[in-house]
Chain A
Amino acid sequence: MENISFRTTVLPLSDRLYRLALRITMNKAEAEDVVQDTLLKVWECRDNWNRINNLEAFAIATCRNRAIDVVKRAGRDTENLDEMVHFSSQTPHEQLEAREEISLVRRLMDSLPEVQRTIMLLRDIEGKTYQEIAQTLDISETQVKVYLHRARTKIKEWITNT
């Protein structure tokens, strides 16, 4: 592979990976560390890029796995993150104030199981096709739609019942 540089090939993925890591870790500093590790990992294996079908999908999968590892290592549950990890670096008073500022909808989205949250992010925020999401998460398109349907149904129920 010729004329590849970190700046033009890997770095542009930063913000997209950050949003994913942030939705999983719910912590800005941790999310930044996850993105840094992911970008370095992707860059280090550049000699093998010709064996990777989709570099972005590879980076997203790597980032997701690392973010899940960070959450698990910290002893937190990836399936129920909403209540505990949003503001881990703040005082209880700051956490309370900040929590009030965050809208109910965002808290609902963040309280979804990790796989539903990730799929919802990739579809509704990053604008990925079902095929791309399936490839990234290594599951079938049908499974992607099932998880997304569950996530959207929950959101709809919460919205219509409040």
Chain B
Amino acid sequence: MDYKYIEQLLERYWECQTTLEEETILRNFFRQEDVPASLLPYRQLFIEQDEMAEEHLDGDFANKMLRLVGEETPMHVCKARRITVMRRLRPFYRAAGLVAILLTIGNAAHQSFSDDEDIANGEQMAEIIAQDSLQQITIGQPEQQSAELTTQPADTIAALPR
């Protein structure tokens, strides 16, 4: 990787010729771990400056000052704390866990629904078969009756009212 630009910026930094934006570029460069050996001695300066920029008063100081000037409503104190990568990703893991649970429940419900459908289909088939059978039975009866009628003796037919 070519570090000429950074080296030039650094030279201009020592000469007080850099803009605030260029100094931010330098600071961001030295914040990374992977700094070439030739530039490594200067890294500590920028790291120290970053740390010095984080120095702050205790949270109680603000409340003390507000009491002194008569604006007594206590301030909510937010304490800065370092968050590890694992901790930062915790919401993601939680969300992933929740999705997994929902998927499992969804699958189980789908499976169960499919089973119900099968049962329902089976029942429906049985019903259709039963209806078919009944229909056949009901269709079969008149045929039998008509056959019986056709097989009746001629005198019976003659006896029927016209």
Contact = CB atoms under 8 A, between A and B. Distances in A.
A5 interface: yes
Given A32-B61, A152-B13, A153-B14, A18 B56 contact: yes
A43 interface: yes
Contact of A106 (B15, B23, B48, B71): B48
Contact of B48 (A23, A36, A40, A105): A105
B56 A125 contact: no
Given A145-B16, A148-B16, A152-B16, A159 B41 contact: yes
Contacts of B57: 14-15, 18, 32, 35
Majority DSSP secondary structure for residues of B touching A: helix
A109 interface: yes
A6 interface: yes
Nearest to A145: B16
A60 to B, nearest CB: 15
Interface residues of B, number: 26
A11 B65 contact: yes
Interface residues of A, number: 37
Interface in A133-162: 145, 148-149, 152-153, 155-156, 159-160, 162
Contacts, number: 76
Interface string A88-123: 000000000000000111100100000000000100
Contacts of B52: 19, 23, 106, 121, 125
A138 to B, nearest CB: 19
Contacts of B48: 103, 105-106, 109
Given A7-B71, A105-B45, A125-B53, A14 B13 contact: no
A5 B53 contact: no
Interface of B: 13-16, 20, 23, 41-42, 44-45, 48-49, 52-53, 55-57, 61-62, 64-66, 68-69, 71, 75
Interface of A: 5-7, 11, 14-15, 18-19, 22-23, 32, 35-36, 39-40, 43, 103-106, 109, 121, 124-127, 129, 145, 148-149, 152-153, 155-156, 159-160, 162
Which 4 interchain pairs have the tightest Cβ spacing? A15-B56, A6-B69, A125-B53, A105-B48
